[in-house]
Structure 1
């Protein structure tokens, strides 16, 4: 009986030591090291972080001795500053810990209360990579456990006097209770070490472990998928972090409900999730992700604000794209950011050129910041022609980048990078200032053209945008009615309530609003009711075949009639022939824009006279 109780206490101490060492290694040591190479020693910053994070445990005597050692056995950090002593690198326990296994032992220590100490050798896992970078050597007190052992033994002696039968029953109950408590504690610690506290999903460490197991299965295709929420930062900034946490919980629930039993969903951090889809070919993965994307898109109301959740999915298939988890994650990440630039919300990795293009996109963002500072951007203008008179009624400002090495770049080469990096706000401000300055110049030469400037969803959703535009109009002495802001249907649909309020605020200041590319996005005429829209632009896809397609003709006529009913003028984009211009004029279209009249050019090259063929 005495021997059994002693063994239980020792096992309890070892289990407790392992659990405590796992928590210290993951929550204290690994974050302080930051994934650095221990063989190079510690930086002063790392040493200071380690000292700060371990002082409390040492001070409270929950840890007797702490050392951080590299795989060569060198002590790179200790709580008392010494670098000598510790377990020999040839010790089987140290070898096992270097290989990734936790080793706990109960050792004799006559100089300490209780006479024993718990020694734990715990591998240190880098938070970012999940790889072992060193060994944590801990010595934990055994005094409390020894005291409990003494108490149990005292009770045992008393109960022996009352009868061996009662004694055996009591000890059995104590053993069962103790074992259950330890098991629950160990399970709870293990769960918390491998799961996200907010969503309850597996965390990055658990994901790496499961991914390695899935990828290692021979002959079984599958996929690693990264999921990143679009515009999540705006939810945090606008509604607060509590709303962001609630949104993450909703996303986790919807993703979990849409997966199969064998699939794995993990939260890697922030608004980034990851999926492991075993036994799945490319077609199966695509169908499953389409269903997940549709499930996420259902509206959710946070703090009274209805939101539509959008996400980008990057897919790397195994073994097609590799069997190394880190490599698959890099390729899935490249595919995901390729999708964020507008290709699609679900993108499968398509080769090294995709990864290279992702790197190039970062270069573009950095160069664009310098381009704004060095004034390398230029504006070209494309006229909008009155179909009745043939005169230029207004012009649309279109930005170009005079790159010092690559020459004149169109917007498609840099605008997506601006949208993703937040540069769209200073870029839009630059375009507005230059367009208003140019307008002042052509007005002084007798050209009374209004000017249109394109703005994005980010601009409409930014608080104070209407006041900012009104301030620029006043600064350049322009009549508000001479400025027209073109917004796409996608911009109006992104956050309909905020966008509508911004449109109303701009219109109340006399600034016109144009709906660009109408018919290709998600906005219908019902969503334009009540909005002060000055112009509706018919997308070029309907104009290009309007002479031959009865369906396009019906759509164009319907848009013209409905826009006029709302009090808006109608401009057709992409007009390239006089026959198309003639048909549009007869259909009641007000203005036209396209290569028939002029390509985008500097404003000095736009003709002042009547454009031939516009009204014929």
Structure 2
């Protein structure tokens, strides 16, 4: 035996055995430490990447909602519908916007906090998306807005569903708050499932009450009872189950409950591949004992080097750098892990690029949108460049959508977008809203405006054919030019003002000037001030005499309202009456006129002046079912004879809803109230309709009377109207009498009454007393109000 140990061969063998054991032991220890480091990196990377994906997805939803709600809040058509109070049209418009971004919830809240529109989308039995009114329609919004904020991001719960919402305020007239409009996406199991597919972690949302009880859970997979047993305490950080990788974040509060999102995965599931790899490495270490130290060192180095690269790549991804390529390893497992790292960073980069593209492009036409327009114009503004903006509106899109459907309407919008994009000498073309586009030129001459209009005409001249339909593409345009003192927003506003002016006046295009802008501002000021004018007695009544041609005496007057504006002076009715009709204030205005006229009648009667008073009512009054009875009750309460008052209704007001009008007029007439058809001959009523109307008189419009003595056609029309009215047992009043010859001509043909500037222009009640007592038309004996 001593001889055996003393052999050089044995000692060399023992030396190599000991050396190899030491080297392999050291290699084993190094592999073990590397395995622990890789486990920690895998856990950290898995959680970090999942959190990054979640935040990108959640923030992208919020950003998209915010951008879209801001665009919708600036929609001029939506503002007009909002101001007009046409809730049917407003809900339709809001639903269209909601449908464009596939939002689950859309809401509009007025400035007083009342929910005026709430639409919720859902699936029917066939899987089709349908929209319905929300349960809070018409109620007070549970969230109070800070009116100084332009946008509001909040979490909201309605109908048992949670929503991620963004609100933007709707303003008019500069910074006058009209209300808020918002859109929301559901926070539900479907969202959790989508996030799970992207991150590989079970994802969920939970509501936790102040007593640390979970009231609701929305999770991507079936509930893991063992994991979720102490979910509330895990969410708030009071308990940690080390069997799971767990991450949570508080998103906000709803109804005194905290909303948390969480992601988890069993730790064993995450580390299983690494453990398998560890056993493989251990077997390799044991099986490779006969190999040399260099081979062992190479294996150790070949394992640790790729791990270091993966750690570096994880740091790059966490910092938002996606262009750093992962170096692949020679081992299959590490090469696969490196490949998955590369795929993950490309997927994140692709999603971010898609989100950015969607934020700055229109999804229907793929043209740039308002956000891209703002970004481009901001760059030009920084460079102090001059540019021209042409806003283009596609005509009759509402009729196309209503008649042919939104599918055809979308095809027309896409065709217009293609034609605008193909225009030469245009630096930028984008879609602003539903049927509105913008063209921008930053290298132009003033003479180029005419060329631009001509080019647009040429582009749209060819009719668009779609599925057998031949459609004309008509446009309305508003043009504004930026000078060096104008801001970006002021130029856009000027172009929009020009466009709206062109639409209102049925023009093909309009170039902005200060005159039309002043008209728009004044109209907005009148809209805002009319309600307070009615309430603060800024209105006054003027009266124009009506002459009985048979008695040659004034026995009636027509009450005409005026607005005595404290700054703008006397405003005629043709300016503010249309505003009252469109803003829903016509009933309040007419009621003020009737009550004021009754007071004036009683004052005259106390002085021995007996005058009947004619009062104008509009179509909006006839639509109010309570207005008819209110008139009768008011006259009765003031204890004045009902025969002293005449209501004048235009033809158009009657024809718009003939059956309803006949019912109300018949009721009035049965109670003794006199009725007159005003502006007869200018409307669209037929003789058959006139025969049905329960009225006492017709008023021939001044357009047929003013040139009566010089126009034979007018003489024929007026004479025929008088004869027709007498055949129907109706009295005739001619307005617009401006000379004695016309008055005599009407008297000879049996016209009962006349009014016009030849007798007197409309004057105040006190001035009318003076004029009447000094005129030849004062009827000294007690006149009968009836003709």
TM-score, length-normalised on structure 2? Answer: 0.46
> In the alignment, does 2:391 pair up with 1:224?
yes
The change in CA–CA distance for 1:552 and 1:50 in structure 2 (over 3 A counts) is closer
Distance 1:140 1:588 in 2: 86
Contact conserved, 1:201 with 1:265, CA < 8 A, in 2?
no
Shift of 1:254: 6.2
CA distance in 2, matches of 1:113, 1:28: 39
How many angstroms does 1:576 deviate by? 0.8
- Matched residue SS, 2:563: strand
- Aligned residue in 2 for 1:158: none
Q: State whether residues 480 and 492 of structure 2, in contact with CA within 8 Å, keep that contact through their aligned partners in structure 1.
A: no
**Hey, what does 2:437 align to over in structure 1?**
276
Contact 1:203 1:267 (C-alpha < 8 Å) held by counterparts: no
**Which of 681, 686, 706 pairs up with 1:544?**
706
Q: Distance in 1 between matches of 2:735 and 2:544?
A: 11
* Native 8 Å contact 1:516 1:538 kept in 2: yes
Q: Partner of 1:599: helix, strand, or coil?
A: coil
Residues 193-216 of structure 1, C-alpha deviations (whole Å, 9 max, x = no match): 8999xxx97899945547988999
1:22 partnered with 2:65: no
Partner of 2:525: 363
Instruction: Work out the CA distance in 1 between the residues paired with 2:147 and 2:711.
Output: 73
Q: Conserved in 2, the CA contact under 8 Å of 1:114 and 1:142?
A: no
Cα deviations across residues 486-545 of structure 1 (Å, max 9, x unaligned)?
A: 223343355555545443443343323322222334444444342212222222111111
* Alignment partner, residue 611 of structure 1: 777
Structural mapping, 1:235-314, within 5 Å: 260=416, 262=418, 274-276=435-437
Unaligned runs of 5+ in 1: 1-6, 36-41, 64-110, 120-138, 155-177, 233-245, 290-312
Please identify, of 544-553 and 482-491, the stretch whose mean Cα deviation from structure 2 is larger: 482-491
Instruction: Call closer, same or farther: CA 1:365–1:214 in 2, change over 3 Å.
Output: closer
Instruction: Say whether the 8 Å CA contact 2:478–2:500 is kept in structure 1.
Output: no
1:398 aligns with 2:560: yes
Gap regions ≥5 residues in structure 2: 1-44, 74-144, 165-186, 193-240, 250-259, 276-343, 421-428, 441-450, 461-474, 779-787
Q: Does the Cα contact within 8 Å between 2:619 and 2:653 map onto a contact in 1?
A: yes
CA 1:475–1:493 in structure 2 vs 1: closer, same or farther (change >3 Å)?
Answer: same
Residue in structure 2 matched with residue 126 of structure 1 by the alignment: none
1:600 and 2:600 aligned: no
Deviation of 1:570 (Å): 1.8
- Is the CA contact (8 Å cut-off) linking 1:542 and 1:552 kept in structure 2? yes
Q: CA RMSD in A?
A: 6.3
1:460 partner SS = helix
- Corresponding position of 1:465: 627
Deviation at 1:17, TM superposition (A): 6.1
C-alpha contact 1:336 1:346 (8 A) present in aligned 2:
no
For the Cα contact (< 8 Å) 1:17–1:118, is it kept in 2? Answer: no
Please say which structure displays the higher CA radius of gyration. Answer: 2
Tell me, in whole angstroms, the C-alpha distance in 2 between the residues paired with 1:226 and 1:145: 57
Q: Choose which of 640, 648, 664 in structure 2 pairs with 1:486.
A: 648
Aligned-partner Cα distance in 2 for 1:320–1:497: 54
**Cross-structure match for 1:294:** none
Taking the aligned partners of 1:316 and 1:112, their CA distance within structure 2 comes to 66
Larger mean Cα displacement after TM superposition, 11-20 or 454-463: 11-20
The Cα offsets for residues 346-398 of structure 1, whole Å up to 9 and x where unpaired, read as 88464223333333334334544444344333222111112222122311011
Cα distance change, pair 24–373 in 1 and its aligned pair in 2 (3 A): closer
Contact 1:424 1:458 in 2 (8 A): yes
Deviations 1:453-487 (A, max 9, x none): 11223222223111111111111223333221222
Shift of 1:277: 6.4
- Name the CA distance, whole Å, in 1 between partners of 2:745 and 2:439: 56
Return the structure number with greater relative CO, CA threshold 8 A, min gap 6: 1
Q: Name the residue aligned to 1:425.
A: 587
In the alignment of these two chains, the number of paired residues is 471
| Greater CA drift, 502-511 or 250-259 | 250-259
Following the alignment from structure 2 to structure 1, what is the Cα–Cα distance between the partners of residues 60 and 53? Answer: 11
2-side partners of 1:17 and 1:485: how far apart? Answer: 66
Q: Deviations over 1:417-463 (max 9, x none)?
A: 43444333322211100101211232344444321111223222223
Alpha-carbon contact 1:535-1:571 (below 8 Å) kept: yes
1:593 CA displacement: 0.5
Partner of 1:173: none
Instruction: State whether residues 379 and 399 of structure 1, in contact with CA within 8 Å, keep that contact through their aligned partners in structure 2.
Output: yes
Query: Matches of 1:143 and 1:25 in 2, distance apart?
Result: 26
* Residue matched to 2:681: 519
Cα distance in 1 between the residues matched to 2:388 and 2:148: 44
What CA distance in whole angstroms lies between the structure 1 residues aligned with 2:771 and 2:730? 26
Query: Residue 169 of structure 2 corresponds to which residue in structure 1?
Result: none
Deviations 1:226-269 (A, max 9, x none): 7999xx9xxxxxxxxxxxxx97996896697587453699796x
User: For the structure 1 residues 203 and 399, does the alpha-carbon distance in structure 2 shift closer, same or farther, using more than 3 Å as the test?
Assistant: farther
TM-superposition CA deviations, 1:541-579 (whole Å, max 9, x none): 111111222222222223223333333322111101111
For the 8 Å contact 1:194–1:205, the answer to whether it is kept is: yes
Is the 1:16–1:186 Cα contact (8 Å) retained in structure 2?
Answer: no
3-state DSSP class of the match of 1:513?
strand
- Answer whether contact 2:386 2:483 (CA < 8 A) is retained: no
2:479 equivalent to 1:353: no
Structure 1: distance between partners of 2:269 and 2:402: 47
